[in-house]
Structure 1
Amino acid sequence: MNRLSPLYVLWLGLSLAAVALFAEAVRGFASAPAPAPIPPPPPVVASRPGGDDPPPPRPDTEVPAPAAPGGVQRVPAPSAAALPPLPPLPAGEPPPRIQVDRDTVDFGTLLQGTEAPHAFVVRNAGRGILRIFEVVQSCGCMALMPEKRDIPPGGSGEVRIVFKAGNYVGPQHKTVAVRTNDPARPVTVLHVKSVVDPLFLFDPPALTLGELPRGVPVVREISIRETQGRPFAVGSVHATLAFLEPELLPDDGGAGATRRLRLTIRPDGAPGGFVGHVSLKVDRPGVTPTFVVQGIIAGEVGVFPQSLFLGMVRQDQAFPVQSLVLRARGDAPIAVKGIETSVPWLKAELKTVIPDKVFQVDLTVDPTPPPGRFEETVRIATSDPPPPYTVTVSGVVRKIH
């Protein structure tokens, strides 16, 4: 028998030890518990520009309902006329059914300042108790919550309203919404109609003065008559513009049903068009007679147009360039000393058409503002005395759908 060399014996021993270690490692790996699965990465939520909050869901999307995990709740599109939801009927409770004997009342012709009451009769034609949660009124009338908010089956109650004619003139149509627990008709709309005749008449009905030379006073007289022929007292007269100066003239000895006003217009305001109101405080509750005064304060410079609508564009579109024209009204030369706009994205560029006589201001919107309607101003300082001319610039930007 051949003897093995020492080196061969050493190599064989190391090999057997390595095989044993490898087998032990395999057995340990096979008996070890399976590792926990790696959780998926959280969803990426886009942030709005300028903030870290996620954008709100669209009104027509579905979002998880917090009260019912795993369920889906439809989020209705918001509406200006939408009312908060009403509580549902308890399980097993028989439903009520609302009936209104007459859902429209027409008071016919009323006089300004008068009030007209009415009671709408509400009946319960169902098998459960009819509960009135709320009465929501539109302007022009006062609706009172009924004393009987719970109406038993077969019973009835009243919703009382008082229509206030106030300063309204002409045909009127107001509404009152009654909210109940009737599942088939949660909101019942009641209608209130009337035609309101004026209690006072002005002669002329309004003052349209046209162009007024700046700094030159203009005087006009206006009469006011009580349509029922009854005497009335005037406590005070108020004008909405500083350069309108109304004065109540003494009673001329008549029956007191007609009074006269002297109105002095001192056109020292900003050049351009104006609309003002003159109102009287009289001894008729709820009535404030008011008439309109309008005209144009003309300086040495004419600005056309005095207001500018740029149109309607989408958010990814640009508004077309539009222009204002400045002209000398007389023979004297004019100058444009400065132009400023109310917002940085409304830009104005001055061009000379005829030196000292005609100028053009090109208006550019850059960049397009956020969606919605905007109304900004352009102020133009000229050789006319201050204040500068002010032009209103408006437009509409639509969302990209």
Structure 2
Amino acid sequence: MSTGSIAGEVDGEAQIHWNDPTRPVVILKLKGYVTPPIAIEPVPAIFMSAFSDEPAERSLTIRNNEARPLAISKVEHSQHLTVSVANLEPGKLFVLTARSAKGAPVGRFEESLTLVTDKPGASRIDLPVHLWVKPDLYANPETIEFGNVRIQDVERPDIAAPLTQTFFVKHSSGAFEITSIDCDFAAVAVTQSPAGPSDSFQINVRLRPEALSLGNINGKIRVTTTVPRYPELVIPLTGAII
């Protein structure tokens, strides 16, 4: 077994074939624990969501399990982040702290962060970075996807779940109101909760069985709000009735 890309608990089995016709095969259960040379905890990646003016922060623990001390000379990263490394136990234990940069542009960013070390033969450790910088008012998820819905299933009471999708509209600066919700795809019904002012709304989008026909689900939901900076959110609607 190659353990180059494995860390943590490992389970498996081995088959031993004998020339004994009464017991031709013996199965051995295997269990072990793989300790990587350099462990990055809790996972070797950074997942972060933040508002443009309210940076978020994530920390990773870097543990050197080799006898040779490790030195981290620098960290390479994009301008969307600020990064610091604290050496808690010289050569053995580090804490990397990544923060979203204040004023970072709104959007989703798939990036990487590189630790430059003095480890022979593997001096660069690349970590994926998944960063979502949200506007003050945002929808989550940003797209409603029904996938493929079978026409013969739409009126079955036990198949109700795939006919309804939910998204949330949230405002980081306090309560607001939704003044209207419109959809240009006629075969859906859209409801909101709560009805009055709030800083977070749940929006349910339900396919109407009586109005469905074979073909693509393709439309837009327009949410009008009382937030001056974001008077309208547009959420795409996709899927297919098959």
TM-score by length of 2: 0.48
Ranked by relative contact order (alpha carbons within 8 Å, sequence separation 6 or more), the top structure is 2
Tell me which structure has the larger Cα radius of gyration: 1
TM-score by length of 1: 0.33
